[in-house]
A = this chain, B = another copy of it.
Amino acid sequence: MSFRFEIEATDGKARRGRMHTPHGVIETPVFMPVGTLGTVKAVPQDVLEELGVQILLNNTYHLYLRPGVEMVRSLGGVQRFMAWDKPILTDSGGFQVFSLSELRKMTEEGVVFRSHLDGSSHMFTPESSIAAQIGLGADIIMAFDECTEHPAERERVRESMEMTLRWLKRSRDHFERHKEEVPWFDRKLSVASGQLSVKSTSGNAHPAHEVQERRLAGTPFFAGDDTTPSLSQQQGKGGPPTASVGHESDDPTLSPKEGDKGRAPTSSLGQDDAEHSNFSGQTQALFGIVQGGMYPDLRRESAEQTVEVDLPGYAIGGLSVGEPRDVTYETVDAAISYLPENKPRYLMGVGTPEEIVHYVGQGVDMMDCVLPTRAARHGLLFTSEGKLTIKNSRFARDEGPIDPQCGCKVCGRYSRAYLRHLYASNELLAQTLNTVHNLAYYLDTMRRVRQAILLGEFATFLTGVKPPHLSVP
């Protein structure tokens, strides 16, 4: 029993619960900051701990390209790699393939794409995505799906949704066959296991900066990976890439993997405090993803058929892709009512502070979004009185904190005047301090949400959420 979810309290449709994972317990509803490349940009891991971050999201597409899955696996998995001893979730890589890379060819088999870094050619299939996610070793991993574009005709959405269902079964099948290959399963794991259909060919037809521009033009502000092109411009590389993941190999002669020294080898199933440091025999939790565009009946159909594949949790994908927020809310309702009560529900890639509270009221347990971190790097700060743009000259002499209601260490120490100066001067510290504040705001919001559910005061809490947090264009 590697994954367990229990509901502690409900208030209307809102639920307060606990998810037990190999790397620890997560209190839900939970907001998961995005750490695309194994780092929440500009924030050290000890500060994430201070903030009370319970679980991070890493992007499979980015880590697959750099430093590569086998590299992360050989270093013990994402948690050990990034020195983060708490739970991590990886996405399937599909969303980034659609939004970042030059998509070469989509077939029933999978998707061939070119890296946005160097133009090299790769293929993701349900099998290779799951293999990559097993190699990375997050606690929760996602089935490989197609994120249907928006807007899309009904028939196109139906076909895409049905392919996602077929891919779900292939994802599940591959996971069941290979789940024991996760880096922290036990010490007998072969370092060469894993399966990725990688076709790596030299190619530089699309220099990095062109891809970068295309991405900027085509990707919504809160796309599912957290990159800031203006601050992390890729250096174009001319040489051929190194294939980062080899083909499957179950060669039993390979030596046992060393590296779990310090981990207790004994089993502690059912013991919450102990399971955090004991991985023996534990595996990842694979979540399925409901698609179906903005068609409530297709969402229902997708939800019902996704649930037929018995999995520890279910996500709702393909939302917050440009549709009006009312439509998002309706679509979430359409899907969520067909998801089982006793499994966690993960709404992918959302949202603003008042939106995430609203989704909790719809019965959502998990959310992730680049908004707090990416907005921070653009100087957009969330406060109890609404959003503010720190570079605004009216803050130049403002000795007050970002948010007088906020208890974070940034608000406790620095003035708006200083933070404006840092941002206007393009200082690195602006990125760190702004991000710490925005994450504190999101995480504090979720703490208050959880408390309100426990006290049966969620409806009152929801009423008190002011709506000035407009969507960022």
Contact = CB atoms under 8 A, between A and B. Distances in A.
A75 B426 contact: no
A39 B429 contact: yes
Nearest to A410: B44
B83 A42 contact: no
A107 interface: no
Contact of A396 (B71, B399, B417, B426): B71
A82 interface: yes
A37 B424 CA distance: 11
Contact of A42 (B234, B259, B428): B428
Q: Interface size bucket, A side?
A: 35 or more
Nearest to A259: B399
Interface string A372-415: 00000000000000000000000011010000000001000111
Given A397-B71, A409-B46, A41 B426 contact: no
A67 to B, nearest CB: 5
B39 A81 contact: no
A45 interface: yes
B417 A37 contact: no
A83 to B, nearest CB: 5
Specify how many copies of this chain sit in the oligomer: 2
Given A41-B428, A427-B39, A432-B428, A421 B235 contact: no
Given A74-B397, A397-B74, A231 B83 contact: no
Contacts of A471: none
B232 A38 contact: no
A39 B422 contact: yes
A67 B425 CA distance: 9
A425 B37 contact: yes
7 contacts: A37-B425, A66-B421, A67-B396, A71-B396, A75-B397, A259-B399, A428-B432
Given A37-B421, A421-B67, A427-B232, A432 B42 contact: yes
